[in-house]
Copies of this chain bind each other. A is one copy, B any other.
């Protein structure tokens, strides 16, 4: 598709100043600030999640992430705590005054998510689950839509359109790496998608370096790159003790690494005229 072909969609950016800023309990996404979303891959206990929330908030994160329903390739892998995980996440978000984000896997849980969760995440595997997209479009909850790992930018935007067409304009796009032949990294972060999306749509664009890389020591340089390329936010897996985490320990930052990341991120964000 050429540029001009994108101009008649609800997602289309009409001019350089056209941007959607989504306000979630006082946290603005898509504005001048770079929004940091951090937290564990999966909620496995109140205590660990509570400690993580406390730490990441102090270091600059404004949104708390945590998985309760986990899309696992194998049916024999841990599938998450389910609604109990959502309850914990919601309680900890309230305690620390942080909006919370978690992934939905089935429309069956939509009412529960709407009640408990501030930003509903659609994972890469469900980016073209059009039934789920339409149902999310009938709520007014902010939706963070992850790019499918083999979906084009055009398909990504059209999936956002599925949500917006039903009435819900609060869509946040998330680049999280695509499948390529390279095996060193888990996926290949398509950094170009950030400026391409920022040009084609007014919607906020965030980056998930943790899932793209699959390796903890890549999260920092990829976060700096994403910020420099114009991303509106980052979503970063962080844990008090990654080895204890029930999923993805390889890519999860310790608090020490998260601190180091924030220390290096701040001057880069300032250099491009934004703040955290």
Q: Determine the chain B residues whose CB is within 8 A of the CB of A192 once the complex forms.
A: 184-185, 188-189, 212-213, 218, 221-222
Q: CB < 8 Å: which of B125, B130, B162, B224 contacts A229? A: B224
Which residues on B sit within 8 Å (CB–CB) of A71? 128, 130
The reply to whether B224 and A228 contact each other, CB–CB distance below 8 Å, is yes
Q: A224 and B106: CB pair below 8 A?
A: no
Q: Within 8 Å of chain B (Cβ to Cβ): is A167?
A: no
The number of chain A residues with a CB under 8 A from chain B is 64
List B contacts of A152 (CB < 8 A).
181-184
The residue in chain B whose Cβ has the minimal distance to the Cβ of A124 is B128
Question: CB-CB < 8 A to A74: which residues of B?
Answer: 158, 161
Which A56-105 residues sit within 8 Å CB-CB of chain B? 71-75, 105
> Please, which residue of chain B has its CB at the minimum distance from the CB of A194?
B221
Contact of A190 among B162, B179, B188 (CB under 8 A): B188
Stretch from A21-29, A35-43, A263-271 forming part of the interface with B: A263-271
Residues of the B chain whose Cβ atoms lie less than 8 Å from the Cβ of A224: 228-229, 272
| This chain's copy number in the assembly | 4
A195 and B180 in contact, given A150-B150, A158-B75 (Cβ under 8 angstroms):
no
A182 to B188, CA, bound (A): 12
Q: Is the CB of B150 within 8 A of A181?
A: yes
A191: interface (CB < 8 Å): yes
Interface status of A108 (Cβ within 8 A of chain B): yes
Residues of B within 8 A of A179 (CB): 150, 179-181
> Could you tell me the distance in whole angstroms from the C-beta of A101 to the nearest C-beta in chain B?
19
A47 at the interface (CB under 8 A from B): no
Q: Are A73 and B131 within 8 A (Cβ)?
A: no
Which residues of A are interface residues toward B (Cβ below 8 A)?
1, 71-75, 105-108, 125-126, 128-131, 148-150, 152-155, 158, 161-162, 165, 178-185, 188-196, 199, 212-213, 217-218, 221-222, 224-230, 264, 267-268, 270-272
A-B contact sample (5 more), CB < 8 A, given A1-B184, A73-B158, A192-B213:
A105-B131, A125-B129, A153-B184, A185-B196, A224-B228
